[in-house]
């Protein structure tokens, strides 16, 4: 009977190749794909659904299934992942990416799936030295240990640079047919996968996760600093992915859409917030985030909305505010012209 393996697949180059290498050894491969809620391509796909910038049309799971001809189980990490992002035991990488904790969580779940289906191998597309936090020899060891997969976790792309695993020792895998890749370059992987006739995978240009993004990290830190102990929700973190963010007071922010797609997306979050939009000229939808703004704060919101509207060069723009427990009201708002003032309000990375 063929050995079974659960392979973590992202739909990208490395994990596809790792799964293929196992399949070539006659292993029965079962894919598992994790949704963290912070995947850039997933967000682009959502935004393209709302009519914004184009993203990859097919979900990663589907692409992996097509390229590998295997079933892929999709697992949403949900609120549990949020906790990992907020309180990672092993800390953050360069931004707010808790890569070590993230990998441990994914691998624990992959292990459960492997146990459930009787797979003795769990594999990933990791390559030593490819990522600064989670793909160093020492952190790979920690991840393996804390996920409960010591000796059972196979990294086919760099296996020859690591001690032999149990599946190799037991003859389930031929070590000689595993690889010895290392470092950040992807050329060997690209050449190898092309030789196997696969050309459809996302370009491995990095930046696959919002948590590694400097601006997202700046917004996240701003939110945490101003949450005053309030328990953050997934919606809070989803909203950070969208639009321009302006900090108006310790408790209050304004989030303004940057394009049509974001306007439609923000509408999903309008309940319980004040919604601003220019009336006579086109412009962004913007939402307050925090307690209902005062009249002065609403006027400031309206001036920001006016600044990003088609009437930004007019003396005044009519901006309607809805919500906040009052009847709709209109502000005649002078667009903010002082870029210094605007950039001071804007939540950006240093």
Selected range binding ligand SF4 among 18-26, 99-107, 140-148, 278-286, rule: CB under 6 A: 99-107
**95 near ligand SF4, rule: CB under 6 A:** no
Task: Please work out the total of residues on this chain that contact ligand SF4, with binding judged by CB under 6 A.
Answer: 10
Helices (H), 60-213: 60-68, 78-86, 99-117, 137-146, 166-169, 187-195
The window from 96-104, 107-115, 273-281, 307-315 that contacts ligand SF4 (CB under 6 A) reads 96-104
Instruction: Give the closest residue to 251 by CA, choosing from 270, 233, 228.
Output: 228
Region from 61-69, 92-100, 141-149, 319-327 binding ligand SF4, contact rule CB under 6 A: 92-100
Q: In a 10 Å sphere around its CB, with 0-12 CB exposed, 13-18 middle and 19+ buried, how is residue 327 labelled?
A: exposed
3-state secondary structure 301-350: HHHHHHHCCCCCCCCCEEEEEEECCEEEEEEEECCCCCHHHHHHHECCCC
Task: Report CA 219 to chain centroid distance, whole Å.
Answer: 14
Residue whose C-alpha is closest to residue 123's, from 131, 132, 114, 133: 114
Nearest distance from residue 131's CB to ligand SF4, in Å?
7
Q: Select the residue interacting with ligand SF4 from 17, 70, 72, 102 (CB under 6 A).
A: 102
Contacts (CB under 6 A) with ligand SF4, residues 223-252: none
Binding mask 106-135 for ligand SF4 (x = CB under 6 A): ----------------------------x-
Nearer to ligand SF4, 60 or 65 (CB): 60
> Which CB, 98 or 167, lies closer to ligand SF4?
98
Radius of gyration of the chain (CA): 24
By the criterion CB under 6 A, which residues form the site for ligand SF4?
A: 36, 97-99, 102-103, 134, 209, 211-212
């Amino acid at each position: 009977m063929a050995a079974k393996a659960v392979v973590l697949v992202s739909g990208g180059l490395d994990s596809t190749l790792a799964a293929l290498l196992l399949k070539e050894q006659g292993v029965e491969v079962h894919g598992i794909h994790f949704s963290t809620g912070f995947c850039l391509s997933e967000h682009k796909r959502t935004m393209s659904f709302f009519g914004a910038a184009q993203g990859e049309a097919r979900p990663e799971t589907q692409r992996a299934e097509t390229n590998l001809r295997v079933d892929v189980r999709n697992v949403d990490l949900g609120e549990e992942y949020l906790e990992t992002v907020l309180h990672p035991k092993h800390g953050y990488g360069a931004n707010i990416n808790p890569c070590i904790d993230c990998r441990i969580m994914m691998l624990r779940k992959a292990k459960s799936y492997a146990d459930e289906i009787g797979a003795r191998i769990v594999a990933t597309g990791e390559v030593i030295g490819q990522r600064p936090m989670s793909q160093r020899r020492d952190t790979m060891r920690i991840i393996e240990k804390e996920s409960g997969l010591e000796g059972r976790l196979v990294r086919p792309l760099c296996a020859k640079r690591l001690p032999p695993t149990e599946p190799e020792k037991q003859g389930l895998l031929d070590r000689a047919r595993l690889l010895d890749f290392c470092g950040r370059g992807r050329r060997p992987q690209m050449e190898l996968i092309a030789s196997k006739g696969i050309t459809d995978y996302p370009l491995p240009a990095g930046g696959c996760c919002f948590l590694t993004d400097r601006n997202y990290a700046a917004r996240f830190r701003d939110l945490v600093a101003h949450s005053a102990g309030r328990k953050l929700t997934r919606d809070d973190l989803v909203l950070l992915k969208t639009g321009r963010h302006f900090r108006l007071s310790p408790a209050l922010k304004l989030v303004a859409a940057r394009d049509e797609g974001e306007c439609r997306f923000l509408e999903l979050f309008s309940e319980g917030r004040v919604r601003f939009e220019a009336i006579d000229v086109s412009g962004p939808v913007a939402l307050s985030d925090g307690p209902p703004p005062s009249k002065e704060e609403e006027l400031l919101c309206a001036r920001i909305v006016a600044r990003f509207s088609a009437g930004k060069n007019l003396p005044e723009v009519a901006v309607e505010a809805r919500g906040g427990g009052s009847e709709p009201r209109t502000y005649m708002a002078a667009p903010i012209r002082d870029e210094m003032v605007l950039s001071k309000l804007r939540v950006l990375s240093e």
